[in-house]
A and B are shown apart, each in its own frame.
Chain A
């Protein structure tokens, strides 16, 4: 971070806080995360500052809403970094940002799926993931501070998903017969309405930080919305988020362990057929996102090797859709 922005940040923070070293962590395509070593009244702490990158997805959530979601999750006992400060004024460092406490651990999907010990071992970690989802899903409509979340629509979550994805494809001018095939399959097999809960909507290996004992941080809340509990379970179990490992829960552990831990925490039985429905949905959703990421490179808006390669994920996702539906 350059000196003028750093000075503006220092001036904005409460008195008693002194910024030390600031380093850009491995940021995503959507956000930048800066690690901040600070002292608070002389005591050393580690914080993370999160701000937008140059280009953002159209459905990216304002930082203030992501901050409110972190507050709700923290209050519910979900393992999230404690949210500290929010600045919605883009004039201070160039875009809105918030500051949260740094949590220690490993989020790297490739390390996680290859480790038999991280998070306390595969079975313990899989159970911990089920409990975390159960805690998240205890947040229900009407919760203070989450009024910005769109009210749950009349359509069942499955049919709403189909309509949303068709809308994305149409607006992007994408002609994708295989994704259409998958969406039509979902339309014909959409489950009835169940409980309405807060869905994280990106709860997967790679967005969950762990240490040797368990989950230390559920990250990336920007897609959270009211929905069906099975949406998050399906996203977590989808083949595209197993990172080449056979274990069905995010490349980490066995499915039944997840289901049992989730049911024990939430008091809600898991319907395996509905999880499988949302696994197909997850594959299609990731394909639609991947197409839009590739388009950011193709359009010249944001030339990037990573975005360009994301386009080449789509054929495998389409093959997964056909394998699951025919």
Chain B
């Protein structure tokens, strides 16, 4: 594959969008361009991290609902780490 790769292309396109395009826009078009930039930024972050996995989510969800994990601090820490790992891609400001 040619260089730059997908992540590097996204990064330079995002810089151009933010620094040269969006400042020229107003109103609804500006709002849409900000959403485009947001989507590109999420895609860029997603390309550089492994997708976080929660093993046996189906069984886990059912067991939590059934009350088998009430006050399970170890599980709570795991769930929190799972949310944090996904925030690193989707919403790093939340961290």
Q: Are the chains A and B members of one assembly?
A: yes
User: A306 interface residue, CB < 8 Å from B?
Assistant: yes
Q: What residue of chain A has the Cβ atom nearest to residue B54's Cβ?
A: A177
Contact yes or no, A181 B91, CB < 8 A: no
Contact yes or no, B65 A305, CB < 8 A: no
Tally chain B residues at the interface, Cβ within 8 Å: 33
How far is it, in angstroms, between the C-alpha of A226 and the C-alpha of B53 when the chains are bound? 40
Query: Hey, which chain B residues are within 8 Å of A318, CB to CB?
Result: 79, 82-83, 86
How far is it, in angstroms, between the C-alpha of A326 and the C-alpha of B76 when the chains are bound? 6
Q: Shortest CB–CB separation between residue A110 and chain B, in angstroms? A: 10
Q: Shortest CB–CB separation between residue A288 and chain B, in angstroms? A: 14
Q: When A and B form their complex, what is the total count of cross-chain residue pairs whose Cβ atoms lie within 8 Å?
A: 82
Q: Which of A31-39, A193-201, A309-317 contacts B (4 or more CB under 8 A)?
A: A309-317
Interface residues of A in 284-326 (CB under 8 A from B): 305-306, 308-309, 312-316, 318-323, 325-326
Query: Hey, which chain A residues are within 8 Å of B77, CB to CB?
Result: 326
Contact of B90 among A176, A306, A316 (CB under 8 A): A316
Contact of A313 among B64, B76, B90 (CB under 8 A): B90
Question: Given known contacts A184-B65, A184-B67, A316-B94, is B35 in contact with A306 (CB within 8 Å)?
Answer: yes
How far is it, in angstroms, between the C-alpha of A314 and the C-alpha of B86 when the chains are bound? 9
Contact yes or no, A315 B76, CB < 8 A: no
Contact of A326 among B80, B84, B94 (CB under 8 A): B80
How far is it, in angstroms, between the C-alpha of A176 and the C-alpha of B57 when the chains are bound? 7
User: B32 interface residue, CB < 8 Å from A?
Assistant: yes
Q: What residue of chain B has the Cβ atom nearest to residue A178's Cβ?
A: B79
Query: Hey, which chain A residues are within 8 Å of B29, CB to CB?
Result: none
Query: Hey, which chain B residues are within 8 Å of A326, CB to CB?
Result: 73, 76-77, 79-80
Q: Which of B1-9, B12-20, B36-44 contacts A (4 or more CB under 8 A)?
A: B36-44
How far is it, in angstroms, between the C-alpha of A322 and the C-alpha of B32 when the chains are bound? 31
User: A15 interface residue, CB < 8 Å from B?
Assistant: no
Query: Hey, which chain B residues are within 8 Å of A176, CB to CB?
Result: 61
Q: Shortest CB–CB separation between residue A324 and chain B, in angstroms? A: 11
Interface residues on A, range: 20 to 34
Contact yes or no, A177 B79, CB < 8 A: yes
Q: Shortest CB–CB separation between residue A188 and chain B, in angstroms? A: 7
User: A26 interface residue, CB < 8 Å from B?
Assistant: yes
Contact of A319 among B35, B57, B65, B87 (CB under 8 A): B87
User: A21 interface residue, CB < 8 Å from B?
Assistant: no
Contact yes or no, B87 A315, CB < 8 A: yes
Q: What residue of chain B has the Cβ atom nearest to residue A312's Cβ?
A: B90
Query: Hey, which chain B residues are within 8 Å of A222, CB to CB?
Result: none
User: B25 interface residue, CB < 8 Å from A?
Assistant: no
Q: Shortest CB–CB separation between residue A318 and chain B, in angstroms? A: 4
Q: What residue of chain A has the Cβ atom nearest to residue B68's Cβ?
A: A184
Q: Which A residues contact B (CB, under 8 angstroms)?
A: 26, 166, 175-178, 180-181, 183-184, 188, 244, 305-306, 308-309, 312-316, 318-323, 325-326
Other A-B contacts than A313-B90, A316-B90, 12 sampled, CB-CB below 8 A, are: A26-B28, A175-B57, A176-B61, A177-B60, A306-B35, A309-B35, A309-B39, A314-B90, A315-B90, A318-B82, A322-B76, A326-B77
Q: Which B residues contact A (CB, under 8 angstroms)?
A: 28, 32, 35-36, 38-39, 42, 54, 57-58, 60-61, 64-65, 67, 69-70, 73, 75-77, 79-80, 82-84, 86-87, 89-91, 93-94
**Residue contacts A-B, CB under 8 angstroms, 18 given:** A177-B57, A177-B64, A178-B79, A181-B69, A181-B76, A183-B65, A184-B67, A305-B36, A308-B39, A309-B39, A312-B89, A312-B90, A315-B86, A315-B87, A316-B87, A321-B83, A322-B83, A326-B73
